């Protein structure tokens, strides 16, 4: 297997799923140089810790730590990670917060075999619905805390959630429409896009009404 430095020489257009999987393994075993002590807002508005991958420490004044320790710290803070931001035109990699805590819980940044095609959750009142609260493994307490803090910043103080499936195989993490303040449908995609940054890429998330769907619990 190539070193991480060699692996990162791959051209952008040649970085496919196989490249990602190798990168994730090499990256998780690497050392990182912390470029800024405080997280910085990315172009998407989310907070990111800026780091560079190094083979050897460069100067005692630089903060060096293992990727594993950095990822663990970020998972408690609700912060994403940028790798080699000075690379042009794009950084080598950008990890959302959801990818980071997914690695902490499962050892996978992305579960490629569980990625679902984007589709709208349609609940038929005449069809059987399977629902219940998310497990601690699916949504750990520290992740709930990060999500609550984010929603409170949006003046949402009592968000409610439930897991819903129409086939008992594929579940959506559903947020109560009413608990979010009953925003108009035109705003739902933006809300879901924001929440998705905090969740692993293979999670499906939706906004649904509590009407006729009992069992919601506080986030």
Q: What pLDDT is stored for residue 77 in this prediction? A: 97
Over residues 82-95, the mean pLDDT reads 94
Distance, CA of 114 to CA of 201 (rounded, Å): 9
pLDDT over 70 (residue 176): yes
Nearest to 199 by CA among 145, 154, 143, 151: 143
Which residue ranges make up each domain of the chain? 4-110, 117-218
pLDDT over 90 (residue 1): no
Kindly report the pTM of this predicted structure. 0.91
CB under 8 Å to 92, separation ≥6 — which residues?
Answer: 8, 53, 83, 84
The pLDDT confidence band at residue 199, using thresholds 50, 70 and 90, is very high
For the stretch 12-35, pLDDT in tens is 999 999 999 999 999 999 999 999
Distance, CA of 70 to CA of 123 (rounded, Å): 41
For the stretch 28-74, pLDDT in tens is 999 999 998 899 999 999 999 999 988 655 555 568 899 999 999 99
For the stretch 92-125, pLDDT in tens is 999 999 999 999 999 999 999 888 655 666 565 6
Q: What pLDDT is stored for residue 171 in this prediction? A: 87
């Amino acid at each position: 297997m190539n070193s991480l430095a060699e692996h990162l020489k791959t051209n952008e257009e040649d970085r496919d799923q196989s490249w990602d999987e190798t990168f994730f393994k090499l990256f998780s075993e690497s050392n990182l140089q912390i470029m800024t002590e405080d997280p910085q807002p990315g172009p998407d508005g989310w907070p990111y810790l800026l780091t560079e991958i190094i083979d050897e420490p460069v100067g005692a004044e630089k903060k060096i730590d293992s990727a594993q320790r950095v990822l663990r710290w970020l998972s408690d803070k609700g912060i994403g990670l940028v790798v080699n931001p000075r690379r042009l035109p794009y950084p080598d990699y950008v990890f959302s917060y959801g990818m980071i805590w997914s690695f902490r819980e499962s050892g996978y940044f992305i579960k490629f075999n569980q990625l679902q095609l984007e589709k709208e959750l349609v609940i038929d009142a005449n069809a059987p619905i399977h629902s219940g609260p998310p497990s601690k493994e699916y949504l750990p307490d520290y992740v709930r805390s990060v999500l609550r803090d984010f929603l409170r910043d949006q003046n949402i103080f009592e968000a409610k959630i439930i897991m819903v499936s129409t086939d008992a195989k594929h579940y959506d993490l559903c947020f109560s429409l009413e608990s979010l303040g009953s925003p108009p449908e035109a705003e739902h995609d933006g809300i879901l896009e924001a929440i998705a940054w905090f969740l692993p890429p293979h999670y499906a998330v939706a906004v649904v009404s509590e009407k006729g769907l009992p069992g919601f619990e506080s986030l």
